[in-house]
Structure 1
Amino acid sequence: MFTLFQQHSTDDYRGRIFGALASVEGVCQLAATFAAGYLGQAVGIIPVITVQGVCYVVAGFTVLFAVSDAATYPPREAIATSEITEAMHEGAGPACRMGRRRAIPAEHRRVINQGAGCPRPG
């Protein structure tokens, strides 16, 4: 879960996202502790643990089906970076030169010009 949050959040908001996540987790743990204590007294410990196990299984399947499609597709930035790297190293020479054998989309050229750099001839 943390990997997905890191991959799909920008650097500017990552700290805020993880702070909010930690706050929500803390509140939920506190509420669950009180609820489990009360329910353990009211209905017994075995039914409480059984419900908890069922909730874990349901949550697991929910995440499995909800995230499986999203996890198979890399983020747009990763695709752009891999295409830039491929274009730079497939024999076309530095991608910054105008004499390329392969056309690079404008948005990829912008990434290169902003600091991805050109490989230096060896």
Structure 2
Amino acid sequence: MVTLADVARHAGVSAGTVSHVLSGKRCMSAPARERIRHGIDTLGHRLLRHRGRVVPEDVAVVALGPGQVAVHASVPLTSVSVPAEERGRPAVERLVARPSGRAPRGTELIAPRLTPRASTGPATAAVS
């Protein structure tokens, strides 16, 4: 498994910086973002190659979230995400309706967005 700490060592930054870049919570310099993206890509593919696997022929890789890492990997990653606005809108509507007693009850399901990219081609190798 490749961890945040592994990527941080490879990129010459802290694990916190890697976390911030992946979550998009803080602006980081372009060189730092690029080193982190490169680290994720390099370490992930190295691990797969070490195990005799190739993306997407042997293994499909899907990123959770809309992060730029998915787009800029050496094999662009298919991603599954729910945009922040779509997550936030129902929450705000419930909070606004709560004081009036009109707050809807139950669970609201929000469909995720699938963005297919090159990392999820048909597998050709047998599962072992």
- Fold match (TM-score > 0.5): no
Per residue, is there more helix in 1 or in 2?
1
* Greater per-residue strand proportion: 2
Task: With the length of structure 1 as denominator, give the TM-score of the two structures.
Answer: 0.28
Q: Which has the higher contact order (CA 8 A, sep 6+)?
A: 2
Q: For the pair shown, which has the larger CA radius of gyration, 1 or 2? A: 1
